Amino acid sequence: MSFRETLEQAAAQAGFPLTGEQLDRFQQYTDLLLETNKSLNLTAITDPEEVALKHMVDSLLVYNPKTFHNHTIADVGTGAGFPGIPLKIYDPSMRVTLIDSLQKRLNFLKQVVQELGLGQVRCLHARAENAGQDPALREKFDVVTARAVAALPVLAEYCLPLVRVGGTFYAMKGRHFQEETDEAHHAVEVLGGKIKEVRPVTLPGLDDQRAIITIEKVRHTPAQYPRKAGTASKKPL
């Protein structure tokens, strides 16, 4: 099957039917991704059908209309734009900030945003720890997402400071999701969050384990978090 057929079928199976226009944009995004990947390491997955499933559909699995539609989203450690850009293609109402520490990746993302004509997308060059201490960003987002960036106790310190009280942090995790969740309870509590749900998810045709961990922001993050760059990964809470 072609990229487009694989994407259309798998997205529908996962509960995300796509329009022709959305499929066009996903195709355009993938073409840019695979072309740029020849000179800049953006993805280890280069087979178009695998990209459709393991990047595009996987990114959509986190979507919940109640929390995402018409809300502000920050995607931390977005890399090649996952899940932020697929989510924006699926629901254009969202106001999305893509955060990454590597300028070359952000240059690629700016090209994607421009060529796909995506409005209300900001590409921000910053380390998550610095973003979380920036008054313009701290506790300003309805939703924060992160996909395969760091272990959950570390990731919580990167992401929860950006979530407004009453907002949600979604961590997209692989097969070690349960042990990561068990290890993160203390960090999440210290940072003002509460683990609400650990939802195992599957991709059509794959049997690997993955889950989406939903963490609610129930109170303000103490001012000393996030700690300065590099501290969270060396000394997790």
C-alpha count within 13 angstroms, C-beta hemisphere, residue 155: 27
pLDDT higher than 80, residue 146: yes
Domain ranges for the chain: 61-234
Per-residue pLDDT, 11: 96
Per-residue pLDDT, 20: 97
Task: Give the Cα-Cα-Cα angle 63, 136, 139 (nearest 5 degrees).
Answer: 50
Contact between 67 and 87 under an 8 Å Cβ cutoff? The reply is no
- Mean predicted confidence (pLDDT) in 126-147: 97
**What is the reported pTM?**
0.96
Name the average pLDDT for the chain: 95
Q: Which of 12-16, 147-151, 179-183, 199-203 has the lowest mean pLDDT?
A: 147-151
Q: Where are the beta strands (DSSP E) in the chain?
A: 72-76, 95-100, 121-125, 141-147, 163-173, 193-201, 210-217
Per-residue pLDDT, 206: 84
CA distances from 149 to 33, 87, 128, 158, 229 (A): 19, 18, 11, 10, 15
Q: How far apart are CA 124 and CA 127, in angstroms?
A: 9
Contact between 47 and 63 under an 8 Å Cβ cutoff? The reply is no
Q: Given 3-state DSSP classes, what are the helix, strand and coil percentages for the chain, each rounded to the nearest 5?
A: 40, 20, 35
Model pLDDT for residues 40-75, shown as the tens digit of each residue: 999 998 999 999 999 999 999 999 999 999 999 999
Beta bridge partners of 210: 201
- Mean predicted confidence (pLDDT) in 100-120: 96
Per-residue pLDDT, 149: 75
Model pLDDT for residues 86-98, shown as the tens digit of each residue: 999 999 999 999 9
Q: Which of 29-38, 187-196, 206-215 has the lowest mean pLDDT?
A: 206-215
Which numeric CATH code is attached to 61-234? 3.40.50.150
Per-residue pLDDT, 219: 98
Model pLDDT for residues 147-198, shown as the tens digit of each residue: 977 899 999 999 999 999 999 999 999 889 999 999 999 999 999 999 999 9
pLDDT higher than 90, residue 132: yes
